[in-house]
Amino acid sequence: MKNSKYILLALLVVLGATSCKKFLDVNNDPNNPNNESVLVENRLPWIEHFYQYTSGVSNFRSSCIAGVYYSNSAAGNALSTTWTTHTGNTTPYQTWFVEVASNLNDLYKTAQKNGAYHYMATANVFHALGFMQMLDIYGEMPYTQAISGIASPAFDDGKAIYKGCMAKLDEAIALFGKTQEATAVPLSKGDLWNNGDLNKWIKLCYGLKARYMLKLSKKSDLYNGDSVLYYVARGPQSNAENTIGPGYNNSTVTDYLLGDPVVTNGNFDYAAYGSNQRISQYHYNLLTNMRGSGVTDPRMTKIVPAAMSNIQLDGSGKVISYTWNRSAGVDMHGAATRLLKGGAASIVAPSYATANTNITYAISDATDRANFIAAQTTAGRPFTTSGNNVTVTYRAGSIYINSTNYLYAGDTVYVNLRSSSIATSGIPAQGQTDVSWYPSVPAFTAGAVASTGSFQIRPVSDQEILTYHEMCFIKAEAYMRKGDAGSAHTAYKAGIQAHLDMMQAKLTQWQGSGYTATNPDMAPMSGTAITAYMASNAVVQTAGALTMADIMLQKYVAMGCSIENWNDMRRFNFSAGNIGGFGVVYPGFDRTPLFAGTALYTGGSKADPRYWPRRFMLPTTLELNYNLANVLALNANATAPNIWSMPVWWDCATDDEYYGYLKK
C-alpha cells in the first residue's frame, strides 16, 4: 500500500474557493499550507465528501453483484453478469486509503490538541465506516498499521478489524457526550452531514453498531438479537434523524484522483455518470410484482428510468409531442435471451436522430427477420425489405440505436440509468436544475430526454449513510429470528412506510426546486397510490403470513444502491435456503446463464459457500505488487483465483471455519 498521507491537504487549497458550502474553505494560510495548519472544520467536510465517494463505488459494484443493476462496463459486467470478476479492484481500496483514511489520524490529533472532542469522535466514526467497508469487500487488510506511516504494513484478520471498528464507535459515543473546550470550534462549523447535531451523530453510532452486530447472524456464539434491538432503539427513530450526505449540481470542479465531479452524490459518480448501467429484471420484478401480487410499487417510476419515445418535432426542430418509454429490466438472472444472443456486455446506448436516418439490417434467420419486421410495424416505423435486408427509417427526433446489428435495434427498451451534472453533461446550456440525460447537444436543444435517471443515483440525490428505514428492517429481522412475528410485522410495515416517506420528502423538495420542469420522475408520488400499495397484497397484511423473504426483499428495494444488500445476501447464502429454517430468502437469484467464473466460484451447489461471490481479490496494483509478503503471511490463498468465493470473517459460522480458509 502506497503512503499518500497529504494528498487531501493539497486538494483543500485547490477546491476551497469553489466548494458547495461556505465552510468548505482553505486553511488559514492558503499560500503555505502544511498539515499542522489545516483547521478541523476545513478537514472534516472533505472527509465526509470523500467518504461518500469511496462509498459510492463500493455501493455500485456490490449492487452489481447483488443483482440490483446490470452493467456493460468491464468491471460492472464481470460482477453483474459473467461473474468473471475484474482483476483491478483498486478503486474502493484506493479512494478509501488515499482520500479518507490518510486524514483520520491528523483530524483526531489536531482536534485532541484543541479540545474539540466532537471532531475527534467524527474521526472514529469514519474509521469504523471505512474499515468495516473494507472488511466487507476484501476480508483481510492492513488495519493496526494501516495509517501509521509504515510503508509495508502488516495485515490483520477480519475479526481484529471488526472488533477495532466497534471499539471506535464506543469511543465516538463517549466523545460526542463530552462538552468541548470553550475555545474549540463547534462541530456545526465543519459538518456537512448533520450540521453539528450531536443527537444525530450519536444515533448514527448506535445505528451502525446495530448494522454491524447483525452481520454476526451466522455466529451462534456471538449473535445476540437483544443486543441488536438495544442498539436499534438508540439509533434513528424517524426520518428526521437520518444521516445523509448531500449531493449538489452547482460546481464543475472535478476530483484530483479520478476526475469525477466533486460536489455530486457519490453513487451518481459510479452508477449514473456514464451510459453503462440499467435496472435488472430481478430488481424490476420486485417493484412490479412483489410477492407475486401483480401490484406496481409507487416507487417504481421514481427508481426505474424512462426515455421519450414516439417523438414529434415542430418546424424548428423542437419536441412537441412524445410518450414515455419506461425501461424494461435486463434479464441476466433469468432466461437472458437478449444477452445470450448478443453477448453479456452487448446492450447499446442510444443516439439521437437529427434528421430522418436509414439503417439497413442483414437478418439471415427467417424467424428473426419476421419478428423484427413485426416490431417495426408495431412501432409505426417505415421500412423496406430486400432479400435478407430490412431498411428502417428512424424519423428525425427519434432516440434509436445507431448500429446495423438487428439484435441491438430494440435496446431502447433498456433505458440507461444515466443522469447529468453541469460537470459531466458536455452541454454548457444545460442548467443546474435539469439533471436528465440527453445523448447529444442537438437532443438537448430539441428537448429529447434519453433518461430521467433513478432516485438514489442522481447528482442531487442524498447519499444515505444510515436511515430510519434500515433500522426498521433490522428490527424486523431481529424479531423474526426471536420468533416474535407480531413485532417483526410491525417493524416491517414501518420500514416500508419510512422509505416511502423519505422518498416523498425528497421528491417534494425537488419539485419545489424546479427539477420537475424537465423531469416528471422527480415529482412526488401519488398519496393515494402509496396508501393503496400499503394495503395491497404486495405488503404482508398479517403477522402470521410474514416470512423472512418478505422482510429482506422489501429491505432490498429500500436499500437499493447499497453494499448492505450484498452483505445481507451473503448472510442468507443468497438463494440456498439453508439458513435458520427461513427458506429461500432471495428466490430466483442464481448464477446467470452467462456465468463464466468456474475458476473463481468453485462450489458445486448452492449450499456450498464457495458457489457464491463472497469478497473481492485485493488490488493487484497495490497490495499484491507492493506488499505481497504481508498479504500471504496472513492469508496463504489471497492470490488464488477462487479467493472471490472465500467468506470473510463475519460470513463464517465459526472462527475455525474462517481460519481454515486462510490456510493452504
What pLDDT shows up at residue 467? Answer: 98
440 within some domain = yes
**Alpha carbon distance 365, 374 (integer Å):** 14
523 within some domain = no
- The parent domain of residue 306 ranges over 278-356+395-457
pLDDT digits (tens, 9 = 90+) for 106-146: 999 999 999 999 999 999 999 999 999 999 999 999 999 99
**Alpha carbon distance 175, 123 (integer Å):** 11
67 within some domain = no
**Alpha carbon distance 512, 506 (integer Å):** 10
C-beta of residue 500 within 8 angstroms of C-beta of residue 281? no
What pLDDT shows up at residue 89? Answer: 77
**Alpha carbon distance 558, 393 (integer Å):** 42
Dihedrals phi, psi of 278, to nearest 5 degrees: -145, 160
Write the DSSP symbol of residue 278: E
Transcribe 456-483 into DSSP letters. Answer: GGSTTSPEEEE-HHHHHHHHHHHHHHHT
What pLDDT shows up at residue 33? Answer: 57
558 within some domain = no
**Alpha carbon distance 209, 121 (integer Å):** 15
Could you count the other beta carbons within 10 Å of the beta carbon of residue 458? Answer: 31
Total domains present in the chain: 1
What pLDDT shows up at residue 275? Answer: 95
pTM: 0.95
449 within some domain = yes
290 within some domain = yes
What pLDDT shows up at residue 255? Answer: 82
pLDDT digits (tens, 9 = 90+) for 488-504: 999 999 999 999 999 99
Which residue ranges in the chain fall short of pLDDT 70? Answer: 1-34, 36, 86-88
Helix 527-534 to helix 485-513 angle (10° resolution) is 170
300 within some domain = yes
Write the DSSP symbol of residue 413: G
Write the DSSP symbol of residue 71: E
411 within some domain = yes
What pLDDT shows up at residue 188? Answer: 98
What pLDDT shows up at residue 22? Answer: 38
Sign of CA dihedral 532, 533, 536, 540: negative
